[in-house]
């Protein structure tokens, strides 16, 4: 029995009155998160390094009564982050939900991995999450049921060959999320992470606005038998192997709103059971 694919427009209103900033909002899962929170009535600032990607998001969102604003921001650059978050907060007048979805992937054999590529993955995925969260934390202190959703990955805890830099960065995000959850628990700011796996996005398929920053895919001589144990268990009704980004966006929306008011310091795998 296959898993049905639901409508991308949920009949929910959990984000009415909520203000959200979502990085990586120009493509893939980040874009799906933007569309989901808009569909639930939220006011959203979508941030991304790609202006073209953000325009694509605006086009996909359609008429949302001015509830969507875009900000071009490079999360790996401290000044860009400070300016981008400042602009976002000026538009929203505060912040209730922060989603750190922006990231890049580099895949290569260890011997062919350059220091520049390794450091770039850490800079974007790990340091970028730190920079954005640090810039937003004061506003979150004043937010309504404040919540931060970070993007770890199944690769943080399970073997994904050729992706050591990515795994290291996402393992760091996982650990950092736990540390922040403890640090800010008494302030009522919740920190959780999602761990996507087997999700189709610009990062995994090299398409869309993220293609320029994602870089090459697996090595040409990659041993695909090494990926047998990470195949999803749940079949999809459209026959696809990877699920759509909205599979993750629904989980992010739950964690980012008051439905998860008693959930902090944990992670949710969204991988179709591939890492049971």
| Residue with token string 């759509």 | 244
Residues 6 or more apart from 251 whose CB is under 8 A from it?
194, 268, 270
From the list 15, 162, 166, 224, the catalytic residue is 166
Phi, psi of 71 (to 5 degrees): -135, 125
**Sign of CA pseudo-dihedral 6, 52, 254, 274:** positive
Task: Clarify whether 162 is annotated catalytic.
Answer: no
Q: What is the CA radius of gyration of the chain?
A: 18
What is the rounded CA–CA span in Å between residue 217 and residue 230?
17
What is the rounded CA–CA span in Å between residue 135 and residue 71?
15
Between the alpha carbon of residue 174 and those of residues 51, 146, 183, 239, the distances in Å are 29, 19, 15, 31
Burial 1-39 (b: 16+ CB within 10 A, else e): eeeeeeeeeeebebbeebbbbbbbbbbbbbbbbbbbbbb
What is the rounded CA–CA span in Å between residue 271 and residue 229?
12
Question: Do 22 and 101 contact (CB within 8 A), yes or no?
Answer: yes
Between the alpha carbon of residue 149 and those of residues 5, 183, 269, the distances in Å are 24, 15, 13
Query: What positions carry a catalytic annotation?
Result: 166
């Amino acid at each position: 029995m296959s898993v049905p694919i639901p409508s991308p427009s949920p009949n929910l209103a959990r984000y009415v009155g909520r203000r959200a900033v979502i990085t990586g909002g120009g493509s893939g899962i980040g874009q799906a998160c933007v569309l989901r929170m808009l569909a639930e009535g939220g006011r959203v600032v979508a941030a991304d390094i790609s202006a073209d990607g953000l325009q694509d998001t605006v086009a996909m969102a359609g008429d949302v009564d001015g509830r969507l604003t875009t900000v071009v921001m490079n999360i790996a650059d401290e000044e860009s982050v400070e300016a981008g978050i400042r602009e976002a907060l000026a538009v929203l007048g505060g912040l209730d939900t922060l989603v750190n979805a922006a990231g890049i992937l580099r895949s290569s054999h260890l011997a062919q991995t350059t220091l520049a590529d390794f450091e770039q993955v850490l800079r974007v995925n790990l340091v970028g999450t730190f920079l954005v969260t640090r810039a937003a934390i004061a506003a979150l202190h004043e937010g309504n049921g404040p919540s931060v959703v970070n993007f770890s990955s199944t690769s943080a805890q399970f073997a994904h060959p050729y992706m050591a830099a990515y795994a290291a960065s996402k393992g760091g995000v996982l650990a950092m999320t736990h540390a922040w959850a403890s640090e800010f628990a008494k302030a009522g700011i919740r920190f959780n992470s999602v761990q996507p796996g087997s999700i189709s996005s610009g990062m995994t398929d090299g398409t869309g606005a993220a293609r320029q920053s994602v870089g090459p895919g697996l090595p040409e001589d990659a041993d695909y038998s090494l990926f047998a144990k990470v195949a999803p268990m749940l079949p999809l009704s459209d026959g696809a192997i990877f699920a759509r980004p909205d599979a993750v966006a629904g989980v992010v929306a739950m964690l980012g709103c008051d439905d998860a008011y008693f959930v902090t310091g944990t992670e949710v795998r969204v991988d179709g059971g591939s890492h049971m």
